[in-house]
Amino acid sequence: MTAEEKILYKLRKAQRKEERFVQALKKIEPKESSEATHDPEILTPEEHFFFLKMGLKCKNYVPVGRRGIYQGVILNMHLHWKKHQTLKVVVKTFTPEEVKEIAAELARFTGGIVLDIHEENTIIMYRGKNYSQPPTEIMSPRVTLSRKKALDKSKCRDGLRALRRYIPRLQQDLELLHARAGGKVGKGTEPTEETPETDIDGAESRSISSKQLENSEKLKEIIDRQDEGSEDGPDTDLGIASDSEDLSDIFETDSDADTEETSKRPLYLEEFEKFSVEADGEPEDFEEHLRQISLGSKKGVTSGKDVDIPTGVDVDSPSFDEVDRMFLRAPSLLKRKKR
C-alpha span between 64 and 70 (Å, rounded): 9
Whose CA is closest to 226, among 244, 205, 201, 202?
244
Q: What are phi and psi of 124, to 5 degrees?
A: -100, 120
Give the lowest-confidence range in 82-96, 108-122, 258-272.
258-272
> Dihedral through CA 227, CA 232, CA 235, CA 236, nearest 10?
-10
Comparing 35-39, 99-103, 141-145, 193-197, the range with the smallest average pLDDT is: 193-197
Computed on alpha carbons and rounded to an integer, the radius of gyration of the chain in Å comes to 58
For residue 152, give the nearest of 247, 7, 27 by alpha carbon.
27
- CB atoms < 10 A from the CB of 4, how many? 13
CA distance 149 to 128: 30
The neighbour count for residue 223, using CB atoms within 10 Å, is 11
d(CA 221, CA 224): 5
Whether the CA torsion 241, 242, 247, 252 is positive or negative: it is positive
Residue 35 clears pLDDT 90, i.e. is over it: no
Nearest to 126 by CA among 137, 136, 139, 111: 111
- Kindly report, residue by residue over 45-100, the tens digit of the pLDDT: 999 999 999 999 999 999 999 888 988 899 999 999 999 999 999 998 889 999 99
Q: Which amino acid is at 170?
A: L
C-alpha triplet 43, 44, 47: angle, nearest 5° = 80
Q: What is the DSSP letter of 34?
A: P
The pTM for the full model equals: 0.49
The confidence score (pLDDT) of residue 323 equals 74
pLDDT at 141: 80
Name the nearest CA neighbour of 76 among 121, 130, 67: 67
Q: Could you tell me the CA-to-CA distances from 35 to 31, 245, 269 in Å, in that order?
A: 12, 112, 115
Type of residue found at 39: D
Q: How does strand 122-126 pair with strand 113-118?
A: antiparallel
How confident is the model at residue 279, as a pLDDT? 44
> pLDDT by residue (tens digit) across 159-198?
999 999 999 999 999 999 999 888 877 665 554 444 444 4
Name the residue ranges covered by the structural domains of the chain. Answer: 1-30+146-180, 45-144
**Mean pLDDT across 136-150:** 82
Distance CA 329, CA 316 (A): 12
Nearest residue to 329 (alpha-carbon basis) of 11, 145, 313, 318? 313
Domain 45-144 has CATH 3.20.20.140: no
Query: For residue 251, which amino acid is it?
Result: F
Which region, left, alpha or beta, applies to residue 299 given φ > 0 means left and ψ of -120 to 50 means alpha?
alpha
Cα–Cα dist 156/149, whole Å: 11
Q: What span, in angstroms and rounded, lies between the C-alpha atoms of 273 and 266?
A: 12
User: Under 8 Å CB-to-CB from 118, ≥6 apart: which residues?
Assistant: 56, 124
